[in-house]
């Protein structure tokens, strides 16, 4: 590796000085320590036009940061066993489907979570939309039936307005 040029040392000194604060100045020892750390970790730009740092260009020469501790081996094994039981692992073959998708009869049914409305609520809303004309008219237009034919649905809208609470301000 080449020895640093005075220009490189000056650039590092200026960077260290600007990073340490507006009024604070880095001492010569701090700059040397920062440069030594950069050389040790390969955090210097590699010569040439690659635009890479030395530790990116030659990763085998520099130690890597320790990997973050994740799950334990037992946790991973338990998670895999659960996925196999539920059929959530990709089945063998080229389809890319899970075992549950290929053979749903072999696995317990996935729990259904009711997030929407009940059947009775949907039916009531549909009846109301039909009565008030609040549904799209056929064709390519974006008009609703009560907009295309206001005279047909005037009575239904009046009844609906009478049932609705009158606390809205217009």
- What is the pLDDT, as a whole number, of residue 170? 44
Phi and psi (nearest 5°) for 151? -65, -30
Task: List residues bridging with 53 in a β-sheet.
Answer: 45
Q: Is the distance from CB of 129 to CB of 135 less than 8 angstroms?
A: yes
pLDDT number for residue 15: 66
pLDDT value of position 17: 60
pLDDT on residue 50: 83
Q: What is the pLDDT, as a whole number, of residue 76?
A: 93
Averaged pLDDT in 10-residue chunks for the chain of 170 residues: 62 63 70 90 87 88 76 93 90 84 85 82 91 82 84 82 62
pLDDT of residue 9: 63
pTM of the model: 0.30
pLDDT of residue 59: 87
Give CA–CA dist 155/151, Å, rounded.
Answer: 8
CA-to-CA dists, residue 136 to 70, 77, 133, 145, 149, angstroms: 53, 53, 8, 6, 12
Q: What is the pLDDT of residue 139?
A: 75
Q: What is the pLDDT of residue 120?
A: 93
Q: What is the pLDDT of residue 5?
A: 66
Which pLDDT does position 74 carry in this prediction? 94
What does the pLDDT read at residue 23?
46
């Amino acid at each position: 590796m080449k020895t640093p040029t005075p220009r490189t040392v000056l650039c590092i000194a200026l960077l260290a000085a600007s990073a340490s604060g507006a009024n604070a100045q880095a001492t010569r020892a701090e700059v040397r320590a920062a440069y030594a750390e950069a050389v040790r970790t390969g955090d210097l730009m590699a010569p040439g036009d690659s635009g890479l740092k030395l530790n990116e260009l030659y990763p085998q020469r520099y130690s890597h940061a320790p990997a973050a501790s994740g799950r334990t081996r037992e946790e991973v094994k338990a998670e895999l066993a659960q996925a196999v039981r539920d059929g959530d692992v990709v089945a063998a073959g080229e389809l890319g489907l899970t075992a549950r998708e290929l053979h749903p009869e072999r696995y317990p049914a996935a729990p259904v979570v009711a997030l929407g409305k009940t059947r009775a609520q949907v039916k009531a809303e549909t009846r109301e939309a039909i009565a008030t004309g609040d549904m799209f008219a056929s064709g390519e237009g974006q008009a609703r039936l009560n907009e295309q034919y206001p005279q047909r649905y005037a009575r239904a809208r009046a009844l609906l307005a009478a049932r609705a609470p009158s606390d809205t301000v217009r």
